[in-house]
Structure 1
């Protein structure tokens, strides 16, 4: 039977050898290029991790980088897999699916906090790199003791990983908006409430009018409600998962 060839981009993701090793040793490695790109992205966002900027740091020409990454799209795939890293090892207390999945989501959220640029990358397909596959395996492992079929398990971890990503993105964008306006959260909510109250017609938007009249946005929330909001949403999603699993 003919041996199957692994595509070069997938081989680089898994750090498999490509081609022969004859001739002069390479000046760089895939890891060196990717680590440099991640450092630049952490410092300045994705726009700071362009091939010319990476080349300057590594003191090579931009074209020479294609020996190690194949393309710009491949570089971002390599960066994403490396930045996520392997998932934390499941703890002994994670035998029940709910605490295991709760921690799995929070661990992903922590990755986004370390590398905010990750949420800017498009999701172009299922996990392909070793670290991404490792996170997927950890999510499935959390559901091992349930009676859910494979399709349900994939659906559950897809929704939960999407919540981690979107939850971080929403929080970061709201914080950036408040920072641009030089407002803290309570002040921003009070302004929002008072401005909208002037515009809302109770006949057209009866429930919004009732919400604004409740004084919710005028009360002073705790100094940081971002984690509280994320936790509420996460438990809401996990309640939905529980309902699906209970129905078998």
Structure 2
């Protein structure tokens, strides 16, 4: 008579992970990262969690509540930036651009007012802190970081849309600009002397690789804005007569 050797213990069926706001938000962010913001609907989030859509409301309140939590969580805390205002604001802006690259759907969320979430407030705090040692008043500081933040967002959206279009056409940026140069050059530009001169100089004929071009355009635009902030800083330092 042989005795049977005990086999491996069968895993017990555990209780499903408890539903909470953090788990809901993490699931919604994962869906949005893969398929865009529309994929993070309450119905699809509930399906991914194997719960009913109604069960989500107890934790996130509403669809808008979920979107707000997603945005604040996806942004995360701001980077640690230096003390000198100009390089600090450049790091602050570049940090936001990095977040948008990681979560492109963030730019699809309308801006309906000032920041409310703790991470969003932390980013605002970091931007204001960068200007702490200047003589700008609160209105000027808020105005400066609002303009910079708006530029970062719009520059990312524009670059992403053009990159998607090039992808659909299966062209590099250089190829797309070459087609653009040839198409516009066939038009009658006699009433547009600056445009005529621009295209006569083949200004779009040579461009750096796509990623370098996008980064260079972003840096150029950001420096223009920072030059404006610098002018405001100098003005604020002048004694009032």
Using the size of structure 2 for normalisation, the TM-score is 0.88
For 1:22-171, what aligned pairs fall within 5 Å after superposition?
A: 27-90=18-81, 94-171=82-159
Change (3 A) 1:30 1:219: same
Shift of the alpha carbon at 1:164? 1.1
Deviations 1:9-52 (A, max 9, x none): xxxxxxxxxxxxxxxxx941111111110000001101111111
Distance in 1 between the 2:148 and 2:175 partners? 31
Distance in 2 between the 1:131 and 1:219 partners? 41
Q: Which of residues 197, 201, 204 in structure 2 aligns to 1:217? A: 204
Deviations 1:109-157 (A, max 9, x none): 1000110000000001001010000000000000000000000000000
Structure showing greater radius of gyration is 2
Distance in 2 between the 1:111 and 1:45 partners? 15
Deviations 1:169-222 (A, max 9, x none): 1111110011111110111001001111112331x2111111111111122434
RMSD of aligned residue pairs (Cα, Å): 1.3
Change (3 A) 1:42 1:189: same
Distance in 2 between the 1:150 and 1:200 partners? 50
Count of residues in Structure 1 that have an aligned counterpart in Structure 2: 219
Unpaired runs of 5+ residues, structure 1, are: 1-25
Using the size of structure 1 for normalisation, the TM-score is 0.86
| 4+ runs deviating over 2 angstroms | 219-224
Unpaired runs of 5+ residues, structure 2, are: 1-16, 237-241
Shift of the alpha carbon at 1:71? 1.1
